[in-house]
Amino acid sequence: MLPILVLIVVLAFTVYLTQKGHEFYWGLMVGSVLLSLANGNSAAATARIFLEALTSARTIELIAAVTIITVLTSILSNCNLLERMVDNLSAFLSNPKLTLMGVPALIGGIPVTGGAIISAPLVGQLGPALALSNARMAAINIVFRHVCIFITPFRPHYILAASLSATPLIQMVTAQAPLTAIGLLAGYWFLLRQAPVKKQTPNSGRLTAGHNFLLYSSPLSAILVGAAFGLRLDVSLGLGLILAILLAWGHPNLNFKTILKGIKFPLIITMASIIIFSAAVNNVKVLPQLLSSTVDYGISLKLLVFAVPLIVGYVTADINACVALVFPLLLPLLPVESKTYYVAAIYANSLIAYMASPLHMCQVLTNDYFKINLFQIYREYWPVLLLLFAGILVLFTLSTL
């Protein structure tokens, strides 16, 4: 039982570090060593287990993918490609309601640091024309920033979830696509439906704006197309990066400094620590037996698939930490024939719990920008969250009958 006690301490310590704003990879790395030693492995055996995990083909693909996505994000942001995407999307939609939905969704799908504070002013510019309160505009920024993440696999935590579970990205996207549809429809119904809209004058430049949006967003489209055709994740992301470099060619910010600055070394270390932690957990032979016996004693696996990520996601307010802690624990229990739907449910529950957490940085920044408190924004978007949760429950139930 010693390894189980050490695992509980490691999980609690990692949650504590996350809540205090520290890099949680320290807790994972130290905890992984202690867990392996408590499991009866020598120092040499522990080093061998970790080295094998870090040099596996899956880990190399994951680290390469995360590195590429951070460089791609840096180029999109610093070379004004993201700005051009947003401007052309706004011009093409030519409707304030659609723009209020589309712009946060676009920015939310790309892992831009401080993305919430980028989209919040754009929402704040359009909201008053629709007579929207500050709380309603804050809710719009949070809801539409996150509901499209289900189908935009450009974030490290999405890539990590697919890698840890050995689930093809396109399968996760397909399994979660209905949730994005539910989120968009519910968000429109509860947050924008009753907002008055003045009659719009025809915009002669819409087609040009639409063409330009497709052009500047082609790096993201290339990634999705590559994933759909079954290319390795790092290869698909590499294609997107090449297209971004070609589109940014000649821009004064396209230089080695931009590329080097884009590499988020703490994030890469975090991904490596998660792989090490996963290897340490998988090496604890008594853990699957304990979890299986828990299920045998009447605690439903389906209940665990919902309860565990909801609790961890809400408490940590960090979806990377949530994926790192939850997936290694639950993956050994998942049935092979319907694993994709279990993985999608775990990830989706993690996402909505993270989205609603009072410590969620996007929510903190958005509430500060619009000068509102937590209960004001909860009052605006709780029906959307409730419908998303119901959607996860119904889809999971139907897919695992």
CA distances to 150, 313, 384 from 368, rounded to whole Å, are: 26, 22, 22
Q: Which residue has the higher pLDDT, 111 or 164?
A: 164
Whether residue 51 is predicted with pLDDT greater than 70 in this model: the reply is yes
Distance, in Å, from the CA atom of 22 to the CA atom of 18, rounded to the nearest integer, reads 6
Asked if residues 168 and 146 have their Cβ atoms less than 8 Å apart, the reply is no
3-34 tens-digit pLDDT: 667 777 777 777 777 666 667 788 888 888 88
Three-state SS string over 313-361 comes to: HHHHCCHHHHHHHHHHHHHHHCCHHHHHHHHHHHHHHHHHHHHHCCCCH
Whether residue 291 is predicted with pLDDT greater than 80 in this model: the reply is no
Distance, in Å, from the CA atom of 115 to the CA atom of 127, rounded to the nearest integer, reads 18
For tokens 């899956």, name the residue. Answer: 58
Closest by CA to 15, choosing from 351, 314, 331, is: 314
- How far is CA 286 from its chain centroid? 31
For tokens 């408490």, name the residue. Answer: 315
pTM of the entire structure?
0.82
292-347 tens-digit pLDDT: 666 666 678 889 999 989 988 888 888 888 898 889 888 988 998 899 999 999 99
Task: Provide the pLDDT for residue 370.
Answer: 92
pLDDT classification of 140: cutoffs 50, 70, 90: very high
Q: Where are the alpha helices (DSSP H) in 95-168?
A: 96-108, 115-126, 134-146, 156-165
Terminal-residue alpha carbon distance, the chain = 35
pLDDT classification of 245: cutoffs 50, 70, 90: very high
Task: Provide the pLDDT for residue 175.
Answer: 95
Q: Say whether 231 sits in a helix, a strand or coil.
A: coil
% of residues, the chain, pLDDT over 90? 34
185-235 tens-digit pLDDT: 999 999 999 888 766 666 668 889 899 999 999 998 888 888 778 888 888
Whether residue 135 is predicted with pLDDT greater than 80 in this model: the reply is yes
Distance, in Å, from the CA atom of 396 to the CA atom of 112, rounded to the nearest integer, reads 30
- How far is CA 108 from its chain centroid? 9
CA neighbours within 13 Å on the CB side: how many for 193? 7
Whether residue 113 is predicted with pLDDT greater than 70 in this model: the reply is no
